[in-house]
Structure 1
Amino acid sequence: MTVYGIPNCNTVKKSIDWLKANQIDYEFHDFKKKGITAQKLNEWCKVFGWETVLNRKGLTWKKLSKEEQSAIDNQEKAIAYMIENTSAIKRPIVEKNGQAILISFDENRYAETLG
């Protein structure tokens, strides 16, 4: 299992704390340090939709002007933006056996999916 995110994100911390508490082994992929590929983002968009993968609640998105935000209106543009600004990726994203299965953190969803 791989957890993708950035270590100082509170949602990522909650996810990792839950995994540790439930004794579930995982590998952490810090996309601030290791980056992320367009291929991986496309896979996640296929599972969750690009509108979900793009974090519109974070500071990175909110720093954009309304014009810049409205210009990111499709998956291709969203992926280009997320590659340049990895903080704009909703996190964490959890993969099991190479397949994205969870996005963000919800204790009930984690228990259902990984319990």
Structure 2
Amino acid sequence: MQIFGTRKCKQTQKAERFLKERGIDYQFVDLTQKAMSPRELDSVAASIGGHHLLMDEESKAFQKRGMAWMEYDPREELLEHPELLRTPIIRKQPKAMVGFDADQLQELIG
């Protein structure tokens, strides 16, 4: 199981706490240190229904770039600017989820 996120993200912290409380091992990938590979991004996007669902439209990066009024390729933007990703991204092959939802995470764990 992997969690992609940032140390400052409150939702990522909630997901980590949730897994730790249940004794579930996971690998944390800090997106400020290491971006997702194109293959990882595509795998997660396929699992959740598309790259556009990974875009954090409420992020400062999205607002600062004025993306609400732009036409863009979500995949390309997310690969170039990982700060646009919604976090946490939680992956347990072959499934994934975005954001923290305790019920959804429990279902992902199985």
Shorter-chain TM-score range: 0.7 to 0.9
Deviations 1:8-38 (A, max 9, x none): 1111011101111111110101122122212
Return the match for 1:84 from 71, 80, 94: 80
Deviations 1:60-93 (A, max 9, x none): 1111225x74212xxxx21221122111111111
Work out whether 1:51 is the aligned partner of 2:52: yes
Q: TM-score, normalised by structure 2?
A: 0.86
Structure 1 residue 111: Cα displacement: 2.1
Return the match for 2:100 from 86, 96, 105: 105
Structure 1 residue 100: Cα displacement: 3.5
CA distance in 2, matches of 1:93, 1:59: 18
Query: Which AA in structure 2 matches 1:101?
Result: A
Q: Name stretches of at least 5 consecutive residues in structure 1 with no aligned partner.
A: none
CA distance in 1, matches of 2:36, 2:108: 24
Counting aligned pairs with the same residue, the percent is 21
